[in-house]
Amino acid sequence: MTAVKPARRTPIGGAALLLWLLGAAVAFYLLFLLITLVLRRVPDPIGPNADLFVEAARTTLYLTVASGAIGLVVGALAGLARTSRFAPLRWVVGIYIWLIRGTPLLLQILFAYNALPLIFQALHLPVQLNDFWSAVLALSLNVGAYNAEVVRAGIQAVPRGQAEAARSLGLSGSQTMLSVVMPQALRIVVPPLVNNLIALLKDSSLASVIGILELVNQGGRIASSTFQFVPVYITLGAVYLALTTVLTLFTDQLERRVQVAGR
C-alpha cells in the first residue's frame, strides 16, 4: 500500500503570509514614490505628467490585485469541481472554462461592461457595475479559468495511491483532499499560478478599451496630446517593467517558501 505523505508544516503560515503581504504593499508604495521622483526629473512631456503616470500605475496594480485575488478563488473552486465525481458539476465548469479560453479577453471585457448590465436589467436584478468592477469581473473570470486548469492538473499530478491510502485509513473525501492531496498539489501549482498573475498585470491594459485610466490609456492620451509617442511609450514600458519586477521578486519568494514545505 502506498504510504500517505503527511502534510508538513508550511513555513508561510498566517502570520508569515500577512507579513509577506505587508512587505509587498510597502515595496509597491516605495516603488511609486521612486517612480514619481524619477519621472518628475524627465523632460517634457514626461515630467509635467509624472503624477498622471503614477496614478495610472496604481490603477493597473489595483486591477491586478483585485482580479488576481478573485481569480485565485474562482480557479481553486473550479479546479476542484473539475476533479469532482459529480458529472453535471464537471460539465458546467468545463463549459465555463471552454467559453473563457475560447474567446478573446477583449471581448469578455466589452461584454461585462456593455452587455451584462442589459442582461441584469432584463432579469430585473439590482446589480450595477462601474467600469472598474466590470473590468475586474472580466479579468477575474478569465484568469480564474486558466487557474482552474492549473489546479486540476496539480491535483491529478498527485499519485492516486496517496488518496486511496488516506481513505483506507479512515479519512473522508474532504479530509483526504485538504490534508493529503492539496498540500502536495500546492507545490506543483504555485509556479504556474504566479505566471498567470504576472500575465494578468499586463493583460489589465485591455481595460483601457472601456475608458479606465490605467497605464496604456493614460499614456495614449498624453502621447496623443503632445505627439511625442517615443518618450511616452518608452516610459510606459519602463513603468511596466518596474511593476512586474517587484511583483516577480515577491512571488518568487512565495514560491521558494512553498517549495521548502515539501522538503
Whichever domain contains 220, its CATH number is 1.10.3720.10
**Cell numbers describing residue 157:** 499530478
**Cell numbers describing residue 35:** 517612480
| Residue 180 domain boundaries | 14-261
* Residue 7 maps to a domain: no
- CA–CA separation, 137 and 120 (whole Å): 14
* 69-72 LR contacts (CB < 8 Å, sep 24+): 70/136, 70/140, 70/144, 71/139, 71/140, 71/141, 71/142, 71/143, 71/144, 71/147, 71/196, 71/200, 72/144, 72/147, 72/193
For residue 26, count other CB atoms closer than 10 A to its CB: 10
pLDDT at 259: 66
- CA–CA separation, 109 and 99 (whole Å): 14
* Residue 8 maps to a domain: no
Residues 6 or more apart from 53 whose CB is under 8 A from it? 35, 39, 46, 215, 218, 219, 222, 235, 236, 239
* Residue 9 maps to a domain: no
From residue 97, alpha-carbon distances to 50, 67, 91, 149 in Å are 40, 17, 10, 8
* Residue 2 maps to a domain: no
* Sign of CA pseudo-dihedral 63, 57, 223, 131: positive
**Cell numbers describing residue 142:** 478569465
What number of CA atoms fall less than 13 Å from residue 182's CA on the CB side?
12
pLDDT at 13: 63
For residue 51, count other CB atoms closer than 10 A to its CB: 11
* Residue 246 maps to a domain: yes
Each residue's pLDDT, cut to its tens digit, for the chain (263 residues) gives: 455 544 444 445 667 778 888 999 999 999 999 999 999 999 999 999 999 999 999 999 999 999 999 999 999 999 999 988 889 999 999 999 999 999 999 999 999 999 999 999 999 888 889 999 999 999 999 999 999 999 999 988 887 777 777 777 777 767 777 777 777 888 889 889 999 999 999 999 999 999 999 999 999 999 999 999 999 999 999 999 999 999 999 888 888 877 655 55
pLDDT at 9: 43
* Residue 4 maps to a domain: no
For residue 225, count other CB atoms closer than 10 A to its CB: 11
* Residue 194 maps to a domain: yes
* Residue 63 maps to a domain: yes
Domain total for the chain?
1
**Cell numbers describing residue 254:** 512565495
pLDDT at 1: 45
